[in-house]
Structure 1
């Protein structure tokens, strides 16, 4: 009989623990040794930590009409006898992310031949993303790709690149010549990053039937003039 008393006390304790909420049982009834259970950690796990934040992109939109980002005067100066002053807008599923416009014209000089000119502007806006990085970082990466793309134009000759100050945060002007449609074209491409937006201005021209092609200096000046207006248009759209 002296061995039945401990068994009776154990049954009594187990019954008492059964009547206690589960959370309390873990804390006070998990052991008969009296040592108690270990305290749960209050430190949150690494997986529960907040996702890293990125800087908000400076520009939330692009100009509503890319064809109006280059002034009518500049278009007329750069495109003699322009076919359409209103320009031709690029197709885009979302003009707040990607847009563009181009103009062209052919001016006849009689027996001296004809002058052809083409001007185009395109915009790409990048948003900040916790996985991909800030809008400015993503734009910087795309800016480098666009410069490399212009430098690697198929068939281009006399390719030259120069850092260009006074236009956006970063700008590079790429010039080259290219033979096509039985004429020697002169090109100037200005790639610009302004905060989280990358814009590219292409200006080129050629002379037909004896007319001279424009000089590198002339197309460079024209492209950079248009690029400055394009950068200003982005800032205006976000005021």
Structure 2
């Protein structure tokens, strides 16, 4: 089949120009065969614009940014009431690498009544504060999760008997009271524990005691009453530390 004169003229003209120009203007002859020529694309190598990801909603800032001194979160008078003959009224602080986020303290004492027996008491407090983090959630949300975990942990205390739990109205935003008995060193110890959340802080108060040399173990109701009192003071101390 013979090419038409106009088409032959075009081919010869393209052959006479530099190769780069041929690639740009003479590389296709598809228009004469009935095919459609595609529209020029964007600059070579440029990627098509992608839809920008929707921004994450920002988490609420934490209400509390500080913690009180754990050994001062329960007033001295209450410590003396709960722990007769307390060895160290100022308490023994626990180790912490970040006092603004975590703190603890404990007290213990033995009230020796000679032939009438002896009463031993132990009181401790733990405070954990949570910051708001975009990837983990608000401080309050994280504290709620920790509160739930801590309550479950206390309820699952190994060897606990006569376990009872209930809510503790009037203590923080939410609180659970757990009471149980635990045998240690041939003596029956009675435990009263309050786990409470106040905004983005989780507080755990644990109070336990026993009787030696014929003294009776403390009553569960008395132990819990003292624990609730200490928990309320700790909640108030957190609020005061952030004024």
Please name the residue that 2:237 is paired with: 233
Quickly say closer, same or farther: Cα 1:8–1:236, change in 2 above 3 A: farther
Q: CA RMSD in A?
A: 2.8
Q: Which runs of 4+ in 1 moved over 4 A?
A: 1-9, 33-38, 40-43
Match of 2:224 in 1: 220
1:124-165 deviation digits (Å, cap 9, x = unpaired)? 111111111111111111111111111111111000100111
Q: Quick check: 1:178 aligned with 2:182?
A: yes
In the other structure, the counterpart of 1:25 is none
Q: Which runs of 5+ in 1 are unaligned?
A: 19-32
CA distance 1:51–1:113, shift in 2 (3 Å): same
Q: For 2:12 and 2:167, how far apart are their aligned partners in 1?
A: 90
Count residues in correspondence: 223
Distance apart, 1:198 and its partner CA: 0.5
**CA-to-partner distance for each residue in 1:39-94, whole Å, 9 max, x for gaps?**
x9877422xx423311111111111x110111010001001000000100011111
The two structures have a TM-score, normalised by structure 1, of 0.83
Match of 1:137, SS state, is helix
- Structure 2 gaps of 5+ residues are 25-36
Residue 88 of structure 1 corresponds to: 92
Answering whether residue 108 of structure 2 is matched by residue 104 of structure 1, we say: yes
Residues 58-69 of structure 1 mapped to structure 2, 5 A cutoff:
58-63=63-68, 65-69=69-73
TM-score, scaled to structure 2? 0.81
CA distance in 2 between counterparts of 1:52 and 1:130 reads: 9
The structure 1 residue matched to 2:121, chosen from 113, 117, 134, is: 117
Q: How does 1:66-77 map to 2 (within 5 A)?
A: 66-77=70-81
